[in-house]
Amino acid sequence: MSLPLHCLGGNAAPEAIAADLQALARLPERARARFWDALGPALPDPPPASIEPALDTFARAFEAPRDDLARALKASRFLVREACARGLDRSRFEEDVVGLAGGPLSPEAAVIAPILLSRYDAARATLGVSAFRDTLADHGAVVESIEWRLDGVLASSRGDAGAAKIAVLTLGYRDGDRKDRITLHLSAEKLEELRRACERMSS
């Protein structure tokens, strides 16, 4: 019977995941010690194009069989991403990994679980930030930078401005793959209104 996993909301793992995960225990010791050097860059979705050549380099450097490395990375990436997406705590994730690796008494589990747990919390934090950023981008333009200065208007073609002070606010933003900037001029009254709005949103 397939093992229900916390990281899958109680559903069973895809059939090949357990076998692929256990390939991690077959990697040379040096490759296992540096496994997150390969796994970490592979976690984004989609994985960057540089991953394949990087894996070839990793396999050569640590004399890791390419097939075992690829299988271990595939299973580990799947499990880490699913666990992080559900905000799974460390102990629940450990239960899933140990179960898939053969149970608490399994020699494979004793090797695999410490490896995946070693940077799980850091991965969860990183993927959480990425998910937050992507969620904002799903619904429109996202502010990425804020620049400002204070100016004064002495006079214009409309007449004497009485040395009125204005705030100049430039927002850099990203809309999908496009980046742009917009510059806004705020009177003292509108600047104060913006300040009050920011205070209310922050409280």
pLDDT tens digits for range 106-165: 999 999 999 999 999 999 998 877 766 766 666 778 888 999 998 887 777 777 767 778
Minimal CA–CA distance to 129: which of 43, 66, 54, 203?
43
* Per-residue pLDDT at 108: 94
Q: What is the pTM of this model?
A: 0.70
pLDDT at residue 100 is higher than 60: yes
pLDDT at residue 59 is higher than 90: yes
* Per-residue pLDDT at 123: 93
pLDDT tens track for 174-203? 887 789 999 999 888 888 899 899 888 888
pLDDT at residue 1 is higher than 50: no
pLDDT tens track for 62-93? 999 999 999 999 999 999 999 998 989 999 99
* Per-residue pLDDT at 174: 86
* Per-residue pLDDT at 105: 92
Mean per-residue pLDDT for 10-36?
94
* C-alpha–C-alpha distance, residues 194 and 115, integer Å: 49
Neighbour order of strands in the sheet with 142-156: 142-156, 159-175, 178-187
Question: Could you give phi then psi for residue 34, rounded to 5 degrees?
Answer: -110, 20
**Helical residues (DSSP H) of 86-119, grouped into ranges:** 90-100, 107-118
Minimal CA–CA distance to 64: which of 88, 37, 45?
37
* Per-residue pLDDT at 76: 97
* Per-residue pLDDT at 153: 79
